[in-house]
Each structure stands twice: as C-alpha cells, then as structure tokens.
C-alpha cells in the first residue's frame, strides 16, 4: 500500500475546558469594547537607495523614516495597563504584514470601516497601495493590560526580506 492510500484513524478533537473557553471569549469581547488610551498612526514605506537596493521602513507618522538600528531608542514608549489603537497605513505598492512581539490585538477597522472580527492576533496583513487611491490602512486595538508584558519588544513586517531590509522598530512598555 502506498503512503497516499494509507488511511489513519482520526485523532480525537482537542477539548478546551468550559471555564477556559469562557475566559477566552470574554477576553476577546472585552478588548474590542475597551476605550483606547491613545491612537497612534504608523506607516510602511519603501525607498530605492543609490546602490539600487530597496530600503524598507516602518515609521510612526511625523517621525523620520529610519532603517532598523538596534542601538536606536524605541520609536514608541507606553505604559502597561493601557489599551491603544494603532492605525497602520501602507504607502508602498507591495503587501506588508504588521507583526508585534509579546502583545496581542484585535482588528477594529479596515479602511476606516468598523470590523467585528473577534480573533486575537499578533499579525495582520496591510494590503498594497495601488499608486493612486487612498493608502490602505488597518486599525488594531492592542492590549497592554497583561502585567507580564513589560519591557522592550519589536514590531516589524513579517515578510523576512522586508524585516531584514530595515522594516522593524522597538516599543518600550513601562511598568504601570
């Protein structure tokens, strides 16, 4: 019998204890309903350098676009215990995937329209700009309330070439 014809017994479905499932659902709904303490605006952008290589940036609006440098101070400083909305805009003509370490978020708006997606994520795709319409943008609601999430973390594009090309920055979460 070949590998393809072999039929294995189905694995039993994993079960989530009722109490844990209830806590998870409450947690998702709870984050969507929180009033954010801050609303930040960031954008993805790219630039072709003199040597023809592409430079990749993730920038807090009104800050200077910078390639990631581990010696630079964090681009964002916030405090544990808060909930924040971040709008992430794509000003480039290719897709980027916003990824945040250590923290979780829900998507609350796509292109300025309210979404009702309860999924707790650490990554979201921001569609490419077509070169003429408004920049595509996604708003996420980030949860800084977990006492464990204090310290300095990275956020970056999850496309490896872009991350390696500079599209990464630091956030520092101060204790409450």
- Residues found near Cu ion in the complex (CB under 5 A): 96, 157, 159, 162
Rounded to 5 degrees, φ, ψ at 136 are -60, 140
Q: How far is the CB of 144 from Cu ion (least distance, A)?
A: 24
Spatial strand order of the sheet with 96-100 comes to 76-79, 168-174, 151-157, 96-100, 123-126
Specify the residue, 88 or 157, whose C-beta has the smaller distance to Cu ion. Answer: 157
- 3 state DSSP class of 23: helix
Specify the residue, 96 or 170, whose C-beta has the smaller distance to Cu ion. Answer: 96
Q: How far is the CB of 58 from Cu ion (least distance, A)?
A: 8
Q: How far is the CB of 157 from Cu ion (least distance, A)?
A: 3
Specify the residue, 74 or 127, whose C-beta has the smaller distance to Cu ion. Answer: 127
Separation CA 40–CA 85 (nearest Å) = 6
Q: How far is the CB of 57 from Cu ion (least distance, A)?
A: 10
Separation CA 167–CA 42 (nearest Å) = 12
């Amino acid at each position: 019998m070949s590998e393809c014809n072999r039929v294995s017994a189905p694995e039993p479905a994993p079960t989530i204890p009722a109490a844990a499932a209830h806590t998870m659902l409450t947690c998702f709904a709870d984050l969507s309903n929180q009033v954010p303490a801050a609303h930040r605006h960031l954008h993805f952008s790219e630039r072709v350098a003199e040597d023809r290589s592409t430079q990749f940036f993730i920038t807090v609006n009104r800050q200077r676009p910078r390639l990631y440098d581990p010696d630079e101070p964090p681009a964002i400083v916030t405090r544990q215990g808060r909930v924040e909305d971040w709008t992430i805009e794509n000003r480039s003509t290719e897709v980027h995937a916003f990824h945040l370490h250590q923290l979780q978020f829900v998507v609350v708006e796509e292109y300025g329209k309210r979404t009702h997606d309860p999924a707790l994520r650490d990554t979201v795709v921001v569609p490419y700009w077509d070169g003429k319409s408004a920049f595509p943008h996604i708003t996420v609601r980030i949860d800084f309330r977990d006492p464990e999430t204090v310290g300095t973390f990275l956020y970056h594009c999850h496309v490896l070439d872009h991350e390696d090309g500079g599209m990464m920055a630091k956030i520092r979460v101060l204790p409450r």
